[in-house]
Amino acid sequence: MDLSMIIPPALKAMPLVELAPWAAETGFAAIDAEVERQLADADAVRAAGIAPGPLRIRASLADSAPATRHAACDTACAAIDQALTLGLHTVWTLPRNFRNDRSQRENYAAALDSLRIVAAHAERQGVRVAIENCPFDGQNVICTPEAWDALFAALPSAALGLCMDPSHCVWQRIDWLRATREYARRIYHVHAKDAEIVSEGLYRFGVAGPQLGDPGQEDGWPRHGWWRHRLPGLGAVDWNAFITTLADQGYDGTVTVEHEDPLWGGSAVRVQRGLSNSCAHLAQFIAP
C-alpha cells in the first residue's frame, strides 16, 4: 500500500513543483490526479519522487436530465482515457445527481444507465472505476451494501468497484470493518478520512440531522449537527484495524488522505500540518 493525498482547497494555489517535494518529504508517495489540473507538471512531480494517484471523475452521472447525463458519460470516458496517459489504471467517482431533484430509486436507475456505458468503456481500456461511498446529501445513492449488491448484480463487470471511505460508514452507522471484509474483492481505492460522533448533537438532532435550519458552528454544533469529518486518528475509525483488514484481504492499492477536517482547515500552513500528522499516523500501520 502507498499513501497519497487529495489536494485540499487551501493548497490549490500552490504549484505542483512546490507541493510535490513537500509531499515527498512528508512521506506521501503520490498525489491524486484531477482532470481539471491534469498534472501538467508531471515530469517535475515525478522528479520529486511523487507519482500521480488515482484520478477523480467529476460528472453528474445520475443527472435527471438525459442530455446532461449523456454528456457526463462522455466526460467520464474521456477521463478514463486521460488516466491512461498518466499511467493510471484506477479512477474514482461519485455517480451523483447534481440537481438532487429525484427520488433515490430514480437516482439509482439513472446511475445504472450511465455506469453501464462507463464500465464498458473502462473494460475496453483496462481501467477500474471505484465508486466512493459518500451519499453527498442524497446525490449519490450507491453508498451502502444494499446499493452495492444491487449494482454488482445488475452490472457484474469487474471494471466496477468501490472507493472505500470508512468515515462515511461511521456516520451512516454501517460496520466499516465488516463492509471492508465482505466487499474486499471490489475495493479498488481507499480514502483515509475519519468521522467524529458528537453525542450531544446526536441527542438534539437525531440521525436525520438538523431539520429546522443550519445550526452553524457559531452555535457550537458541527455542520451536520451530530457528526463531522476529522483527519485520520482523530475520530471513530481504528486505523490499525482498518489497514490490517485491508492487508489481510489482499489490498495493495493506494490509501489517499482526504482532508475535510474543519478543525485543521484555514491557512495553508495549518492544512499542511494536518496532512503531515495524518501521514505519520497512517504510516505506523502500513508495512514498507
Q: What is residue 214's predicted lDDT score, i.e. its pLDDT?
A: 73
Q: What is residue 82's predicted lDDT score, i.e. its pLDDT?
A: 92
Residue 239 makes CB contacts below 8 A (sequence gap 6+) with 192, 232, 233, 281, 282, 285
Domains in the chain: ranges and CATH: 2-192+235-260 (3.20.20.150)
Contact 231, 166 (CB under 8 A): no
Q: What is residue 221's predicted lDDT score, i.e. its pLDDT?
A: 83
Contact 159, 126 (CB under 8 A): no
Q: What is residue 262's predicted lDDT score, i.e. its pLDDT?
A: 94
Q: For every one of its 288 residues, what pLDDT tens digit does the chain have, with 9 covering 90 and above? A: 999 999 999 999 998 889 999 999 999 999 999 876 655 567 777 889 999 999 999 999 999 999 999 999 999 999 999 999 989 999 999 999 999 999 999 999 999 999 999 999 999 999 999 999 999 999 999 999 999 999 999 999 999 999 999 999 999 999 999 999 999 999 999 999 999 999 999 999 999 999 887 766 546 788 889 999 999 999 999 999 999 999 999 999 999 999 999 999 999 999 999 999 999 999 999 987
Q: What is residue 217's predicted lDDT score, i.e. its pLDDT?
A: 56
| DSSP codes joined into one string, 164-230 | E-HHHHHHHT--HHHHHHHTGGGEEEEEE-EEEE-HHHHHHH-TT--SSS---GGGT--TTSSEEEE
> 191: closest CA among 160, 159, 166?
166
Q: What is residue 44's predicted lDDT score, i.e. its pLDDT?
A: 73
Angle at which helices 104-125 and 145-154 pack, to 10 degrees? 50
Q: What is residue 216's predicted lDDT score, i.e. its pLDDT?
A: 61
Cα 55 to Cα 203, 219, 225, 260: the distances in Å are 39, 37, 31, 18
